[in-house]
Amino acid sequence: MEHPFLTNRFIVKDMGVIQKIASSGIRNVYIDTERGKDLETARTQEEIHEHLQKTIESEILANKKEHKPVAVTEEVNRARKLYSETTSVIRNLMKDARLGKQVNVTALAPMAENIVGSVFRNSHALTGISRIKTKDEYTFMHCVSVAGLMATFAKEMNMSDEIVYQVAMGGLIHDIGKTMMPDNILNKPGKLDEDEMNIMRTHVDHSFLILKEEKGISEAAMDVTMRHHERVDGTGYPYGLKGDEISTIGKMSAIVDVYDALTSVRVYKDAWEPTFTMRKMLEWSDHHFDKQLVHAFIRCLGIYPVGSVVELESGLIGVVLDQSSDLLKPKIRVIYNKKKKFREMAHDVELEKIDFDRIVSFANPLDYDLDITPYLQ
Ligand SMILES: [Fe+2]
């Protein structure tokens, strides 16, 4: 209907027709070279093939370049922006779901891709930033953190790039059923009682109901959504699955979900220190989690993850800025002197490169009235 020709395929017999084509606004035509002459300057089939091949190769190269590892300091600003953008996409999506509107899960695909890119460049940037949450925004921020942690974990497990992407997507949607929880339960400023807990447990079924009509949700993403509350000893929900009844991705998602919940500040509790949380999770892995997987998870975050606070033998307190080849000797930013009880002028120390000081334990920044947020920026 947009041009004066009755058919899209016709033989061009003279210049008059060419002028008519051009004046009707048509900018491109395909020439059937079996029925007529090609352009003299046209590429041969071989040249076209070669050109396509080169384009594909340069795209692969560009993608790889995107994933080229960089230092935490280089990735951290990009990761922070990505974290807040993704949080607002999730916030809007969950609000839509709450209003009964159709949820557009495909809008999350580019966010999941960016998360994967960030994780490949330097996973410690996004996982470090994930620690900084606000109580009110926890529900949304938790989804972004779980996406980053799942991608990091899957990468550590040498899973394919496609699976790394799918589990990131799974993290973003894994708690979507929470939109169906009553407000007074979802945002209760205290611990839930048994009845409220039972209602809260139905969020997994609600996620299923919301997502079952959605196209393009992978099995891996669904696994994260449906299994993150299952426990290997069968005490989880909604199905009480045991051991290998839960897939590896399902078991990984349980570890990530609990780790992020515990290391986050909530309306009823402060954030736990990452190193302490990992130690606790290792204890619980006799019952709740797959021990091998908890070990693998600790390996990918480091014993002292980026964003955690440590105490040195000298009494200095510092925030972990980056990992090194030795998990016990990360790069830190010293911010406080415990012995002298005063704030140090912030300075960086690469523990791997010195032999006069070492980490003796993790520390809780609240004990020293310290806010670590500015040090991760
Ligand atoms: Fe959940």
For the chain, what is the radius of gyration of the CA atoms?
27
Cα(105) to ligand 1 centroid in Å equals 17
Average pLDDT value for residue range 222-250: 97
Q: Could you give the CA distance from residue 327 to residue 310 in angstroms, rounded to a whole number?
A: 13
Question: Could you tell me which residues are beta bridge partners of residue 312?
Answer: 359
Cα(113) to ligand 1 centroid in Å equals 22
Asked whether the predicted pLDDT for residue 23 surpasses 80, the reply is yes
Average pLDDT value for residue range 218-234: 96
Are 252 and 228 spatial neighbours (Cβ–Cβ below 8 Å)? no
- 163 versus 23: which is more confidently predicted? 163
pLDDT 10s digits, 37-77? 888 777 777 787 777 777 766 665 565 556 788 888 889 88
pLDDT 10s digits, 294-330? 999 998 898 888 888 999 999 999 999 888 888 889 9
Position 366 scores a pLDDT of 82
Position 90 scores a pLDDT of 94
Cα(259) to ligand 1 centroid in Å equals 12
Position 62 scores a pLDDT of 62
Q: What is the DSSP string of 236-286?
A: -SSS--BGGGS-HHHHHHHHHHHHHHHTS-BTTBPPPPHHHHHHHHHHHTT
Cα(32) to ligand 1 centroid in Å equals 57
Cα(260) to ligand 1 centroid in Å equals 11
**Edge-to-edge strand order for the sheet containing 316-322?**
342-350, 331-337, 316-322, 309-312, 359-362
pLDDT 10s digits, 280-295? 999 999 899 999 999 9
Cα(141) to ligand 1 centroid in Å equals 13
* Cα–Cα–Cα angle for 60, 77, 371, rounded to 5 degrees: 145
Cα(280) to ligand 1 centroid in Å equals 20
Asked whether the predicted pLDDT for residue 198 surpasses 90, the reply is yes
Average pLDDT value for residue range 4-17: 82
Cα(147) to ligand 1 centroid in Å equals 13
What is the distance between the terminal CA atoms of the chain, rounded to a whole angstrom?
Answer: 56
- 260 versus 268: which is more confidently predicted? 260
Average pLDDT value for residue range 226-249: 96
Position 57 scores a pLDDT of 65
Give the rounded percent of residues in the chain with a pLDDT score beyond 90: 51
Position 97 scores a pLDDT of 86
**331 phi and psi, to 5 degrees?**
-85, 130
Q: What is the DSSP string of 296-365?
A: HHHHHH-SS-TT-EEEETTSEEEEEEE--SSTTS-EEEEEEETTTTEEEEEEEEEGGG-SS--EEEE--G
- Report which of 289, 259, 279 is spatially closest to residue 271, judged by C-alpha positions: 259
Cα(257) to ligand 1 centroid in Å equals 7
Asked whether the predicted pLDDT for residue 106 surpasses 70, the reply is yes
Amino acid at 254: A
Q: Pick the most confident of 73-82, 253-262, 294-303.
A: 253-262
Cα(174) to ligand 1 centroid in Å equals 7
Cα(169) to ligand 1 centroid in Å equals 15
Q: What is the DSSP string of 89-142?
A: HHHHHHHHHHTTPPP-GGGGHHHHHHHHHHHHHHHHHHHHHTT---STTHHHHH
Q: How confident is the model at residue 181 (pLDDT cuts 50, 70, 90)?
A: very high
Q: How confident is the model at residue 165 (pLDDT cuts 50, 70, 90)?
A: very high
Cα(229) to ligand 1 centroid in Å equals 6
Question: Could you tell me which residues are beta bridge partners of residue 368?
Answer: none
Cα(122) to ligand 1 centroid in Å equals 26
Cα(295) to ligand 1 centroid in Å equals 22
pLDDT 10s digits, 114-163? 999 999 999 999 998 888 888 888 999 999 999 999 999 999 999 999 99
Position 59 scores a pLDDT of 60
Position 107 scores a pLDDT of 84
Q: Could you give the CA distance from residue 173 to residue 156 in angstroms, rounded to a whole number?
A: 22
Cα(232) to ligand 1 centroid in Å equals 16
Asked whether the predicted pLDDT for residue 13 surpasses 90, the reply is no
Cα(208) to ligand 1 centroid in Å equals 12
Cα(204) to ligand 1 centroid in Å equals 7
Position 63 scores a pLDDT of 59
Cα(142) to ligand 1 centroid in Å equals 10
Give the three-class secondary structure for 233.
strand
